[in-house]
Every structure is written in structure tokens, then in C-alpha cells.
């Protein structure tokens, strides 16, 4: 009996650890999808800024450089900016910070806490609002990203999108919703309403991008 009990505990622990890892992976997929839009947006913004500088600053900077006895392009510093690495590096930092913030909402929380409205009302504040609204977008984006990846590797057939979609729904039901419930149910009343404002600076834009670009519903609307 002792061996069986120990085996049950080990199996239970492995199941819980596996579920938590799957929840973390779903968050990471959703955040990565959202961070891709940060990378693209920043890259296009930098390229537009460089084009503006080329159009408006090249003449004056070249003339100044020649006046100082320097090559004409010596002061055109923006032409040597590594825009792709800059945008990718910034997006990576945002992605890692968002991963830590979103995963932290449920990673160390108890699993058996009951989700109820009175407890949530007592916990209302910046942290509660951001967690309850931004985390679902990231989890849905992660499930959709998983479904798209599955569709890419499945043999081409009319059934492939449906199979991939069912896989995404299953992942969201089995891991996504429990992660959200685990995070929201374990919220404690804040010492002050603005508690959690710092991580919200990352979670809000990433959550918004996940809702905007990582959920398939927008493509179904007219």
C-alpha cells in the first residue's frame, strides 16, 4: 500500500506539473503572437522615421559636415542604424516581461480556490481588472497559434482546419480556462486600488494586441 500511495502521489504531482507547463506554454504562444506585432510595428515605424530623416535632414546635415571638413555622409547617423535588430530586441524584451507577468498571475497560486463574485469584488483593483481581461486574450491567442501550427503539419485535406480547430479548443478548455480561473479565483484584496500598476504597463498592451491580432473572431465579422 505504501508503494501504491507513493506512486499515486508521484503520478498526481507529474500530472499537475504537466498541466502547469501546458498553461505556461499556452501563455508563451499567445504572448509571442502579440509580440510579433510589436516587432512589425516598431520596424515599420523606424523605417518611416529614417525615410523622413532622409527627406528632411540629409541636405542640412551634409552641408554641415562639409563645412566642418568631414565627408558629406559623416553626420547621417540614422543611415547606419540596425533597425531590424533594434525592433527584434525590443520586442523580445517586451515578450519576456509579458511572459513573466502573465505566467505569474497563476503559477504560484493555489488550485483549489473557488471562483466566486464576492471574492472577486473584494479584490477589485488594477491587478484584478487587468488579469481578468488581458489574460483570456493571451490564452485564446495561444490556443489559436497552436491550432495554426497544427494545421501546418497536418496532411492537406478539407478536414485539417477542423481538426486543428478542435485541438485549439481542447487546449483552451483543458489548460486555458483553468489557468484563467486559477489566476482570478486566487486574487487577494489589494492594499490600494493601484496595486499591480507596473506589470499592467506590459500586460495591457500585450493583452490588447492578443485580442486584436490573436483571436480568430475578427476574421469572421463582416
Give 1-36 pLDDT, tens digit per residue: 555 555 555 555 566 778 889 899 999 999 999 988
Give 148-168 pLDDT, tens digit per residue: 888 888 887 788 888 888 988
By mean pLDDT, which of 44-53, 60-69, 109-118 is the weakest? 109-118
Three-state SS letters, the chain: CHHHHHHHHHHHHHHHHHHHHHHHHHHHHHHHHHHHHHHHHHHHHHHHHHHHHHHHCHHHHHHHHHHCCCCCCCCCHHHHCCHHHHHHHHHHHHHHHHHHHHHHCCCCCCCCCCCCHHHHHHCCCHHHHHHHHHHHHHHHHHHHHHHHHHHHHCCCCCCHHHHHHHHHHHHHHHHHHHHHHHHHHCCCCCCCCCCCHHHHHHHHHHHHHHHHHCCCHHHHCC
Q: What is the pTM of this model?
A: 0.83
Q: Report, as an integer, the average pLDDT of 78-96.
A: 88
Q: Is position 1 within any domain? A: no
- Structural domain that includes position 189: 18-222
* Between 120 and 75, residue with greater pLDDT: 120
Q: Is position 6 within any domain? A: no
* Between 136 and 63, residue with greater pLDDT: 136
Q: Is position 7 within any domain? A: no
Question: What total of structural domains would you count in the chain?
Answer: 1
When pLDDT is cut at 50, 70 and 90, the band that residue 113 belongs to is low
Residue 220: what pLDDT? Answer: 47
Q: Is position 80 within any domain? A: yes
Q: Is position 9 within any domain? A: no
Amino acid at each position: 500500500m505504501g508503494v501504491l500511495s507513493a506512486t499515486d502521489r508521484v503520478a498526481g504531482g507529474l500530472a499537475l506539473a504537466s498541466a502547469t507547463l501546458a498553461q505556461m506554454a499556452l501563455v508563451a504562444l499567445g504572448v509571442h503572437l502579440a509580440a510579433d506585432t510589436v516587432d512589425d510595428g516598431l520596424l515599420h515605424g523606424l523605417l518611416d522615421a529614417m525615410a523622413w530623416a532622409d527627406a528632411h535632414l540629409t541636405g542640412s546635415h551634409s552641408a554641415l559636415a562639409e563645412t566642418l571638413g568631414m565627408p558629406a555622409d559623416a553626420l547621417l547617423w540614422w543611415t547606419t542604424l540596425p533597425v531590424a535588430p533594434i525592433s527584434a530586441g525590443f520586442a523580445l524584451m517586451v515578450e519576456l516581461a509579458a511572459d513573466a507577468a502573465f505566467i505569474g498571475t497563476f503559477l504560484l497560486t493555489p488550485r483549489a480556490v473557488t471562483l466566486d463574485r464576492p471574492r472577486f469584488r473584494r479584490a477589485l483593483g488594477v491587478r484584478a481588472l487587468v488579469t481578468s481581461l488581458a489574460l483570456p486574450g493571451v490564452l485564446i491567442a495561444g490556443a489559436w497559434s497552436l491550432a495554426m501550427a497544427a494545421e501546418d503539419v497536418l496532411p492537406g485535406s478539407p478536414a485539417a482546419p477542423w481538426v486543428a480547430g478542435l485541438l485549439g479548443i481542447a487546449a483552451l478548455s483543458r489548460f486555458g480556462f483553468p489557468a484563467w480561473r486559477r489566476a482570478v479565483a486566487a486574487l487577494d484584496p489589494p492594499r490600494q486600488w493601484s496595486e499591480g500598476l507596473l506589470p499592467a504597463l506590459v500586460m495591457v498592451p500585450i493583452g490588447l494586441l492578443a485580442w486584436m491580432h490573436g483571436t480568430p473572431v475578427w476574421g469572421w465579422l463582416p
